[in-house]
Amino acid sequence: MRLHVAVPLRWSDLDAYGHVNNARMLTLLEEARIAAFWSVPGSAAPTAVLDTGPGSPTVTLVAAQRIEYLVPIPYLREPLDVELWIGRLGGASLEISYEIFSAVVDGERTLYTRASTTLVLVDRASGEPRRVSDDARAAWQPYIEPPVVFRG
């Protein structure tokens, strides 16, 4: 099962070419992960269950990222529709896969970007890697799908 997160653009995401800057895309993916996975004290529960937000004993570090830009993204008032899922679940790490779409217009939508992020779970206090617990493994199970396939 994929998670869907609506990520609004800002006008300042555009660079001098008038499209969303390539580096900024990773910021938008970060927002999608946070919306999907972090619980924030005093806020509504997140869509899903990673629970590595502020206050959690576990932190996730970004170990690697890969991204393919298929179509330049113009300024859009409607949020991007970021589909994300767990493409691989390891012992102390996981790989998030993404496909980033436009909103649906006239029954169609555009696939702008494919990406993946490798996250390593780390104990906030010690900085040591931390194995995915059985509880977490069970909770994440529904969101595991085959990893995104890159062209390149």
Residues near its own copies, by CB under 8 A: 8, 10-12, 14-16, 18, 21-27, 30-31, 34, 40, 42-44, 54, 61-69, 72, 75-78, 105, 118, 150, 152
* Nearer CB in complex with its own copies: 10/138: 10
Residue 120 is encoded by which pair of tokens?
A: 């390593």
We find the least distance from the C-beta atom of residue 85 to its own copies, in angstroms, to be 19
DSSP label at residue 44: P
* Nearer CB in complex with its own copies: 15/135: 15
* Nearer CB in complex with its own copies: 64/138: 64
We find the least distance from the C-beta atom of residue 68 to its own copies, in angstroms, to be 5
Q: What are phi and psi of 88, to 5 degrees?
A: -160, 135
Q: Which helix (H) or strand (E) holds 123?
A: strand 111-123
We find the least distance from the C-beta atom of residue 112 to its own copies, in angstroms, to be 13
* Nearer CB in complex with its own copies: 133/150: 150
We find the least distance from the C-beta atom of residue 138 to its own copies, in angstroms, to be 26
Residue 63 and residue 74: Cα distance in Å, rounded?
29
Residue 36 is encoded by which pair of tokens?
A: 């999907």
We find the least distance from the C-beta atom of residue 58 to its own copies, in angstroms, to be 14
Closest listed residue to residue 99, CA positions, set 126, 72, 80: 80
Residue 24 is encoded by which pair of tokens?
A: 């900024």
Q: What is the dihedral of CA 11, 15, 17, 18, to 10 degrees?
A: 0
* Nearer CB in complex with its own copies: 105/138: 105
Residues in the chain: 152
